């Protein structure tokens, strides 16, 4: 058998990025790179990797979500085909559970181990950021998260987005709407409340945003009323978790002295000088 030259670029070539900048790999594309000819055999490896993931106390659903695609089987015929949308960690576990006799498996193990390590370093780097830098970082994530959530909510039938987002705030902030939060923080009219949150408060809201989107998609929630109810419940659940762990309620977290827009303006002024 002719030896296949597998380089880091090969794995990079089949990497995809979603609208939020999150990278992922399709299992059927990875299968070909890892020299598996039959889907049935490769899915056995995937199942082993999923078990390893669960045994580590990590939800396999978050790293191995299955997707369905329509593939052409003839000139005018199509059929549904099962696939998986894999995270970097999922690919790493698949490589760890693959046929170790294949040279390409060893290369995949090295590649995804290095990539996973890079992500760990990034997380460690986060702890060394200043509070202002953490705020900018988390605010960027909430912007991307809200953009994605709005698309999902629209698909579910949401039209009044102010009401939809207020439902989430009410659950997380014990009945407070966005306007109530803004008034409590002493903000000017139409000033963005997320720009006036510390990193911990932004993280709580990012969790609300991401969990709501997952719930809408996973349970195929339909109708504006049900979507609003779901957003409220997710916010309330997160609030209950914070209380159970003895954390500080979001409304009790301090409001930063300067908004992110103010900081951005000051930084731009310094750079221009």
Residue 260: helix, strand or coil by DSSP?
A: helix
pLDDT tens per residue, range 204-214: 999 999 989 98
Cβ atoms of residues 207 and 231 within 8 Å: no
pLDDT tens per residue, range 89-114: 899 889 889 887 887 887 777 677 76
Exposed, middle or buried by CB within 10 Å (0-12, 13-18, 19+), for 219? exposed
Supply the pLDDT for residue 70.
74
Supply the pLDDT for residue 272.
36
DSSP string, 137-202: HHHHHHHHHHHHHHHHHHHHT---HHHHHHHHHHHHTTT--HHHHHHHHTPPTT--SGGG--HHHH
Exposed, middle or buried by CB within 10 Å (0-12, 13-18, 19+), for 152? middle
Residue 219: helix, strand or coil by DSSP?
A: coil
For residues 195 and 257, give the distance between their C-alpha atoms in angstroms, rounded to a whole number.
11
For residues 222 and 243, give the distance between their C-alpha atoms in angstroms, rounded to a whole number.
30
Highest mean pLDDT among 20-29, 84-93, 160-169, 264-273 belongs to 160-169
Cβ atoms of residues 171 and 233 within 8 Å: yes
Length of the chain: 273
For residues 165-188, give the mean pLDDT: 96
């Amino acid at each position: 058998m002719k030896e296949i030259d597998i380089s880091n670029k090969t794995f990079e070539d089949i990497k995809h990025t979603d609208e939020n900048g999150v990278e992922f790999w399709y299992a059927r594309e990875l299968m070909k790179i890892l020299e598996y000819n039959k889907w049935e055999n490769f899915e056995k490896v995937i199942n082993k990797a999923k078990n390893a993931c669960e045994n580590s106390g990590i939800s396999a659903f978050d790293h191995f979500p299955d997707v369905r695609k329509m593939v052409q089987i003839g000139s005018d015929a199509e059929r549904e085909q099962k696939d998986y949308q894999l995270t970097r960690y999922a690919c790493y576990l698949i490589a760890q559970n693959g046929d170790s006799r294949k040279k390409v498996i060893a290369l995949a193990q090295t590649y995804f181990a290095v990539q996973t390590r890079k992500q760990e370093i990034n997380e460690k780097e986060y702890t060394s950021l200043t509070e202002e830098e953490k705020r900018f970082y988390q605010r960027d994530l909430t912007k991307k998260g809200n953009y994605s959530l709005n698309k999902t909510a629209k698909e579910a039938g949401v039209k009044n987005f102010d009401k939809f987002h207020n439902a989430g705030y009410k659950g997380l902030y014990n009945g407070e709407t966005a306007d109530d939060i803004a008034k409590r923080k002493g903000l000017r009219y139409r000033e963005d409340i997320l720009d006036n949150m510390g990193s911990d408060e932004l993280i709580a809201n990012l969790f609300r945003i991401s969990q709501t989107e997952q719930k809408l998609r996973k349970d195929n929630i339909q109708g504006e009323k049900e979507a609003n109810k779901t957003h409220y419940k997710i916010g309330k659940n997160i609030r209950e978790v914070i209380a159970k762990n003895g954390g500080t309620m979001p409304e009790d977290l301090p409001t930063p002295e300067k908004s992110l827009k103010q900081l951005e303006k000051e930084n731009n002024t310094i750079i221009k000088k």
